[in-house]
Chain A
Amino acid sequence: MSNLFNIDIVNPEQSFLSKDNVFEVVIPAVEGEIGILKDHIPIISFLKPGIIRVFSESEEQSFYVEDGIVEFKDNTLSVLTSSIFDLKNADKNFVSESISSAEAELSKDNIDDQKRFLLNHKVEVLKSISIN
């Protein structure tokens, strides 16, 4: 019995990643990271800024996402996101720009707690990227 399942990451413009040999995916869901293995119960959730880690037989890939929706059903994990990039070819300028725009947003007074939390989290994740 194999313990592999499918993953589809799509963004509005195109299909970003499609694999059928992954055995574990860790997604940054809103209420904490979720590790997904084969035969997980059907789930719908959405993402907060963070890193998706995809473990397949041969390699491990990491992607930064800002937001999105995940759906797991029939051993297929679909990730819908409008902002995603591979950590391997992360653009240093883009990352630092994102950090500064998020920080600028944070310094405004009129944002609610949830947004503040998300932004703080985003800055944290992005900073950890830029260090590596």
Chain B
Amino acid sequence: MPSLDDLRKRITSVKSTQKITKAMKMVAAAKLRKAQENAEKGRPYSEKMNNVILNLSKSITDKENAPKLLVGTGEEKVHLCIVLTADRGLCGGFNTNIIKKAKSYFEKIISENKTLKIITVGSKGYDQLKRQYKSYIVENISFKESKNINYFDADKVGKIIIEKFEKNEFDVCAIFYNKFKNVITQIPQEQQIVPLNENKDDKDDSGNDNDYEFEPDEDEILSNLLPKNISTQIFKAMLENSASEQGSRMTAMDNATRNAGELVDRLTIEYNRSRQAAITKELIEIISGAESL
């Protein structure tokens, strides 16, 4: 049985933890709104980019000579995985969910005897993966210093990928991130960016009215555009990720605050009970002492 003093101390400590989680929840809520706005603002760019690429790839007839970034190297031996996570913890299952998704993909690659290479973006992902997959991690990037997510950072990651591709260091590249659905739900995503997966569920090509004029020719535009597209996809993933992170943290901190409240209630009851018990005990002692006189 803990003493009264211990109980009192515990109650205060839980209460101050509750204050922290509550503050974190409110901060996350404020950041979430901004992150969501940013994600929405960034959407037109990646949508338009996709459209242009779709139109371009439709008009390419000579698949043999098409840029390798679009159609792939023809092999599937080396897989490069970009795992995008947060730099900070205390956000519920956010990081763990991405890692879980990525790990199952890793296992598949390894069991098929293919080569695996990993790039982690964000320090939490690196921390969780280094225990098991240290030898596969080729690069670890973190943008702790940048306050906001900006295109410049995404471009850096994109350039690394392109560079590796040009050196023939991988055949297939996939990115892992959390897609923001709503505050409570974030869906871990796996997206292949090299070679570019053509969306098969696209609405039928609306006739052949997209007879574009190209200047310079299609190939040159495509080879210029595809590297940009990779950066854009990464940027999109980073934006989604940051919105998810804040949403996830908000929910986690909300739960923590509620749990702390319950704990305080329970501890207060226990405290009051043992205080009452102590009083009763003293009374009995006094009374029985008086009786024996």
- Chain A residues, Cβ within 8 Å of B51: 71
Main secondary structure of the interface of B (DSSP, over half): helix
Judging by beta carbons under 8 Å apart, are A14 and B48 in contact? Answer: no
Judging by beta carbons under 8 Å apart, are B41 and A44 in contact? Answer: no
B45, B213, B216: which contacts A42 (Cβ < 8 A)? B213
Judging by beta carbons under 8 Å apart, are A80 and B45 in contact? Answer: yes
A69/B41 contact (C-beta < 8 A), A10-B48, A31-B216 known: no
Judging by beta carbons under 8 Å apart, are B212 and A42 in contact? Answer: yes
Judging by beta carbons under 8 Å apart, are B52 and A80 in contact? Answer: yes
Query: How far in angstroms is the closest Cβ of chain B from A11?
Result: 7
- Judged by a CB distance under 8 angstroms, whether A30 is at the interface is yes
- Chain A residues, Cβ within 8 Å of B56: 44
A residues engaging B (CB < 8 A)?
8, 10-15, 29-31, 34, 41-46, 69, 71, 73, 78, 80, 82
- Chain B residues, Cβ within 8 Å of A41: 213
- Judged by a CB distance under 8 angstroms, whether B151 is at the interface is yes
A13/B38 contact (C-beta < 8 A), A43-B215, A44-B52, A80-B48 known: yes
What would 18 A/B residue contacts be, using CB atoms closer than 8 Å? A10-B45, A11-B45, A12-B42, A12-B46, A13-B42, A14-B41, A15-B41, A30-B215, A30-B216, A31-B216, A43-B213, A43-B215, A44-B212, A46-B224, A46-B225, A71-B48, A80-B45, A80-B52
B154, B213, B228, B235: which contacts A69 (Cβ < 8 A)? B228
Judging by beta carbons under 8 Å apart, are A42 and B49 in contact? Answer: no
A31, A45, A82: which contacts B155 (Cβ < 8 A)? A82
